Amino acid sequence: MNKKIKQRKVYIIGAGPGDAGLITLKGVDCLRVADVVVYDYLVNKELLKYARNNARLIYAGKQGGTHTLSQWQINDLLVKEAKAGNTVARLKGGDPFIFGRGGEEAETLAASGISFEIVPGITSAIAVPAYAGIPLAHRGLTSTVAFVTGHEDPTKEKSDIDWQALARIGTLVFLMGVKNIGKIVKELTDHGKAPETPTALIRWGTTPRQEILTGTLANISVLARKRKFAPPAILVVGKVVELRDKLNWFEQKPLFGRGVVITRPEKQADDLARLLIKEGANPLYFPTIKIVPPPDWRDLDAAIKNIDKYDWLIFTSANGVASFFERLFAKNKDIRDLKGVKICCIGPATAQQVESKGIRVDLVPEKFISEGILESFSGINLRGKKIFIARAAKARDVLPEGLRKSGAKVDVVTAYVTVNSGKKKTELGTLFKENQVDVITFTSSSTVDNFVKIMGRKFSLPKSVKVACIGPVTAAAAARAGLSVDIHQEEYTMEGLVQALIDYCETQISKTKCIEICKSNNPAKRRVLSTRDFGRKPAVRKTRKSK
Asked, as a colleague might, if the bond just before 232 is cis with ω within 30 of 0, I would say: yes
For the annotated catalytic residues, the residue numbers are 40, 62, 176
- Burial status of residue 403 (CB atoms within 10 A of its CB: 0-12, 13-18, 19 or more): buried
Strands 88-92 and 10-14 turn out to be parallel
Strands 211-216 and 233-237 turn out to be unpaired
CA pair distance 196, 188, nearest whole angstrom: 12
Question: Reduced to 3 states, what is the DSSP secondary structure of residue 300?
Answer: helix
Q: Are 244 and 421 in contact (CB under 8 A)?
A: no
**Cα 448 to Cα 347, 361, 425, 530, distances in angstroms:** 20, 30, 14, 27
Question: Reduced to 3 states, what is the DSSP secondary structure of residue 249?
Answer: coil
Query: Which string of DSSP letters, residue by residue, matches 138-167?
Result: BTTTBS-EEEEESS--TT-SS----HHHHT
**Cα 100 to Cα 17, 93, 103, 121, 149, distances in angstroms:** 12, 8, 8, 11, 10
- Tell me the β-bridge partners of 392: 416
Q: Phi/psi of residue 364, each to 5°? A: -130, 120
Q: Are 485 and 541 in contact (CB under 8 A)?
A: no
Please give the single-letter amino acid code of residue 179.
K
Helix (H) / strand (E) element for 13: namely: strand 10-14
Nearest 5°: the CA angle 16, 236, 118 is 25
CA pair distance 407, 133, nearest whole angstrom: 63
- In this structure, is the dihedral angle defined by the CA atoms of residues 43, 45, 48 and 50, taken in order, positive or negative? negative
Enumerate residues 6+ apart whose C-beta is below 8 A from 351: 345, 361, 364
CA pair distance 197, 195, nearest whole angstrom: 6
- 296: how many CB neighbours lie within 10 A of its CB? 9
Enumerate residues 6+ apart whose C-beta is below 8 A from 113: 7
